[in-house]
A and B are shown apart, each in its own frame.
Chain A
Amino acid sequence: MDIKEFVQTFAQQFEDTDPAEITADTEFRELDEWSSLTGMCIMAMAKTQYGKIITGKELKECETVKDVFDLISSK
């Protein structure tokens, strides 16, 4: 898993946000489209795309897309 590919996959979880807006340093909760459902999709993405389980609590501690990348990488 490399960060560039991860950022793209992360961005795909958003429906109406321009993927160009999302980088490794993006604080994803600041995005207009972010909601608890998006959070659930990120957790499901970790499971289906990367075979890793992350919890809501762990995701809550992440601020940037890179934080999520590091979290999933650490599993």
Chain B
Amino acid sequence: MTTPYTLVDKNILITGASSGIGRAIAILCSRMGAKCCITGRNAERLEDTLSQMQGDGHQAIVADLLNEEDRAVLVNALPKLDGVVQNAGVGSRVPCKFVTQTDIDQVFTINTFSPILLQKELMQGKKLSAGASVVFISSMAVKYPSVGNAIYSASKGAIQAYAQVLALELAPRKIRVNCVCPAMIWTDLVTADGIDKDDLIKDQAKYPLGRYGSPEDVADLVGFILSPASSWMTGSCVELTGGGNEL
């Protein structure tokens, strides 16, 4: 009996795969039968991800997606893709009163501008197969304001708006584009800029399901969106919150 919940023989690109959510997505995709191209800045940690993946035919490409030349090398090395997970991102907690140009440049370059440029380069390089699925990892920070999160929230809001337009432009080729919007997930991002982990451990009890999410929780949803099981789904921003209604 066949099932659409599979990625057998699909080529999937996953950015930011050297840790956290990206790593969990890479591992899950490999278990679902995909051949993955994983990318990140840190060769050692990328290899660590690779060592945890199942099956053969995966490749790890070290690249700094902020760098145009690195992106060109990456795109050239890629096969025709059936799935793209734009996951690379950075957290930031700065009160509005203290925001600097550097904060804005850093957060927007990593969370917004680089994914947009990489997406363009993938399309210009004709790397997307018809029927492919593109997933952007956004955040519930777009909908749930929390103090200090303005620049991060704005960067994710921008990528969501972009993704919805991209969905429209790629629909004629049956390429689907969706965002996943997690609430608090246990990764290095949530303790950005000196946030106290002990406070977060207490805070997660407020979530109706009693805990923050894990990278694997996000990966399970992304695996579904990459698979043919979601083939009528595009332009969506899927909320993954453990029932929580704040960050």
Contacts and interface: CB of A to CB of B under 8 A. Distances in A.
A60 B196 contact: yes
A40 B148 contact: yes
Given A41-B97, A41-B98, A56 B148 contact: no
Contact of B194 (A37, A48, A53): A53
B93 A40 contact: yes
Contacts of B56: none
A41 B195 contact: no
Interface residues of A, number: 16
Given A57-B198, A59-B194, 6 more contacts: A41-B95, A41-B97, A44-B97, A53-B194, A55-B195, A60-B196
A45 B93 CA distance: 13
B95 A56 contact: no
A36 interface: yes
B94 interface: yes
A56 B147 CA distance: 14
A56 B195 contact: yes
A62 interface: no
A75 B97 CA distance: 24
